[in-house]
Amino acid sequence: MRFLHTADWHIGKKLHDFSLAEDQTAAFDQIERLAKDYQVDAVVIAGDLYDRGLASEQAVEQLNGMLKQLNLNDHLPLLAISGNHDSAARLATGSEWFETTDFYLHTTLASAFEPVTIMDTQFFLLPFFNLQAVRNYFEQDVKTISQAMTLIVDQMKQLFDPDKKHVLVAHFFAAGSTHTDSEIQVEVGGLDAVPTTLLKDFDYVALGHLHNPRALNEERMRYSGSPLKFSVSEANLQKGVWIVDTNPFKLTWAPLQPKHDLIILEGSFDELTQGKIAAQYDQTQDYVAIRLTDTKLISDLMNRLRARYPKIVEIKRPNQQDDASIATMTMASHDPLMLLDEFYEKVHPDQQLDDQQRQWASAALTKVEEEEN
């Protein structure tokens, strides 16, 4: 069989106050087009369908419309799981009825052990989970995500039909991955990564969580990445989906074209407002991250740049030591490790946190978060 693997739609997400609804609809239309052109037998969505557990009415209508289009209008089987950004309870609404039309939306750990068979393949749909859910389900103490995944995979393997291919759909941080800014919770909640060796018995692992499709380069374990660039750190990534053939196994990358791109423009204030860059990008509808090379103070900076670039999502001044005078907006990401990095760099301008220090900080943050839960 052949399926399309996507994830991290984050419907309802805003990019620094700019709604992405239109961009998301445009990306969805391309995904639908690809599903038809490649004549796939199913579409896999590996978590984070919504950006927030409490999605707005607009986001609810948008996602409902997309799922209806794929499943009821295009008659495509859907295989989806809840991610860490979704409210599993809310997302589950209607899921028992969805199965009447081959739309399998799994939001509980227990449902990961109810494989869905489509043609030659058994799909195991493992939603985002926390350790407590694993402790409750297996009735034993579990201290790390690796321990949890060992139990989970063992149980799945007992359900393997030897005549079928076996695909895992999951939403977590797999070991070895590099990552981008917009997966905030990865670093805090999921630092304790899943080693890819635990997943080797699957014919393919369709992952969600990281927005970079190259975050993992195992032949048979992939992140699809998000359909859109959700942070400046993703500016240079190509977005797309995987088309996966199960027999013989084959992986095909199908890129998506953004309706509005996210670009980084670097230059002096004069270059950005009067020079070549200004001429080329004047009134661009792309989302723009500015790298301002001047060191002098510039009055009314944001408004003057916005007159040229209406959708500025970030301004950074790499040559200015004390950038307190302008809003860098990076605070908005609220990622504790990133903030720690930035703070450390301020205090020790010549060095960065080393790996050991980052590990200590992460462990401490994970502990704090566990206690909060």
**What does the binding site for a copy of itself look like in residue numbers (CB under 8 A)?**
53-54, 57-58, 60-61, 64, 68, 72, 87, 89-90, 92-98, 100-101, 103
| Minimum CB distance to a copy of itself, residue 355 (Å) | 38
Least Å distance, CB 164 to a copy of itself, is 27
* Cβ atoms of residues 5 and 222 within 8 Å: yes
**Which residue lies nearer to a copy of itself by CB, 65 or 336?**
65
- Which residue's CB is nearer to a copy of itself, number 107 or number 231? 107
Closest to a copy of itself by CB, 70 vs 153, is 70
Closer CB to a copy of itself, 61 or 120, in the complex: 61
Which CB sits closer to a copy of itself, 90 or 179?
90
Could you tell me the smallest distance in angstroms from the CB atom of residue 91 to a copy of itself?
9
Q: At closest approach, how far in Å is the CB of 103 from a copy of itself?
A: 7
* Residue of 221, 141, 130 lying closest to 175 (CA atoms): 221
The radius of gyration of the chain's CA atoms, rounded to the nearest angstrom, is: 22
| 130 touches 148 (CB < 8 A) | no
**Least spacing, CB of residue 97 vs a copy of itself, in Å:** 4
In the complex, minimum distance from the CB of residue 105 to a copy of itself, in angstroms, rounded to a whole number: 10
Looking at beta carbons only, is 56 or 366 nearer to a copy of itself?
56
Shortest separation between residue 6's beta carbon and a copy of itself, angstroms: 20
Q: Are 157 and 199 in contact (CB under 8 A)?
A: no
User: What are the CB-based long-range contacts (under 8 Å, 24+) for 334-338?
Assistant: 334/184, 335/181, 335/184, 335/187, 335/188, 336/187, 336/188, 336/365, 337/187, 337/188, 337/361, 337/362, 337/365, 338/181, 338/187
Instruction: CB nearer to a copy of itself: give 78 or 210.
Output: 78
